Amino acid sequence: MPLLCVNVDHVATVRQARRTFEPDPLEAAHEAIAGGAHGITVHLREDRRHVQDADVLRLAEAFPGRLNFEMAATDEMVSMARRVRPAMAMLVPEGRHEVTTEGGLDVVRHRDRVREVIAALAAGGVRSSIFIDADPAQAEAALSCGASVCEVHTGPWAHAAHASGVASQPARRELDLVRAAGGRIRALGLQFNAGHGLSTANVGPIAALPGLAELHIGHSIVSRAVIVGMRAAVAEIRAAIDGAAASGSAVHSAR
């Protein structure tokens, strides 16, 4: 079964709406684990629009579970990662005007910088993952930069599944791209993770992909948590993942 890491950025978004002390991402992190998550993720953005430095420091100190640190490939974020030593640094591109991460990191284009950042993280004892589009050339570049994990961007799949239906041709085309990228990532000896735009409505076909190690999901879980609570929201998506992964592995072993 793929592991589930829950991104709690938008718990901090609600807090920052009033610049107050609640809701607390640390409390949400504990609830996510109680609901069946394997770890949690926070993205410290350059503009500090949701998660703050103090959140990262507090999570690193007080959260006993697995912490992933999503970050741009900047010196400032490398220093923070080396200070808090998360289980994994997740490299993403970052645009000041985007509402969320809009695409994978172009590792082919920024190969030298990415290699430098991964080496600096490794020297500080931090393992790196790179968020890439579903493109085998990006996976090959990630390997050449020293990454040990690639997270494939599932946003285009989520968008097509929402617009046209999970079984539609456009959605199937996007799913095939994620599957092919995952196959290449694994063939290169890297860990295959996936995330972005996933929800109980569309996670199934992704969760059933062969060799998928981890899913990284944030917005839909926090949205649902507003209605049913974090623990229940995580349990719901965990059940959707487990059901799909079980039927996916039955299909793979019958082949």
Residues in 119-158 at the binding interface with ligand PXP, rule: CB under 6 A: 131, 151
Cβ-contact 196, 216 below 8 angstroms = yes
Told to check if 218 binds ligand PXP by CB under 6 A, we report yes
Told to check if 182 binds ligand PXP by CB under 6 A, we report no
Q: Which ranges of the chain would DSSP assign to H, the alpha helix?
A: 9-18, 25-34, 53-62, 75-84, 111-123, 136-144, 155-164, 169-187, 203-207, 219-228, 230-254
Interacting residue with ligand PXP among 92, 175, 203, 241 (CB under 6 A): 92
How far does CA 67 lie from the centroid of its chain? 12
The span from the CA of 181 to the CA of 177, in Å, is 6
Told to check if 38 binds ligand PXP by CB under 6 A, we report no
Q: Give the SS3 label for residue 6.
A: strand
Told to check if 216 binds ligand PXP by CB under 6 A, we report yes
In angstroms, what CA-CA distances link 151 with 16, 62, 70, 164, 217?
Answer: 28, 27, 12, 24, 12
With CB atoms as reference, the residue minimizing the distance to ligand PXP is 218
Q: Is 110 noted as a catalytic residue in this protein?
A: no
Cβ neighbours of residue 235 closer than 8 Å, sequence gap 6 or more: 35, 36
Residues in 70-89 at the binding interface with ligand PXP, rule: CB under 6 A: 70
> Among residues 130, 79, 124, 75, which one has the least CA distance to residue 101?
130
Told to check if 238 binds ligand PXP by CB under 6 A, we report no
State in angstroms the smallest separation of the CB of 104 from ligand PXP: 8
State in angstroms the smallest separation of the CB of 74 from ligand PXP: 15
Told to check if 7 binds ligand PXP by CB under 6 A, we report yes
Q: Is 196 noted as a catalytic residue in this protein?
A: yes
Tell me which of 31, 50, 70, 216 is the catalytic residue. 70
Cβ-contact 117, 144 below 8 angstroms = no
Q: Is 43 noted as a catalytic residue in this protein?
A: yes
Tell me which of 30, 43, 50, 153 is the catalytic residue. 43
Told to check if 100 binds ligand PXP by CB under 6 A, we report yes
The footprint of ligand PXP (CB under 6 A) covers: 7, 9, 43, 70, 90, 92, 100-101, 131, 151, 195-198, 216-220
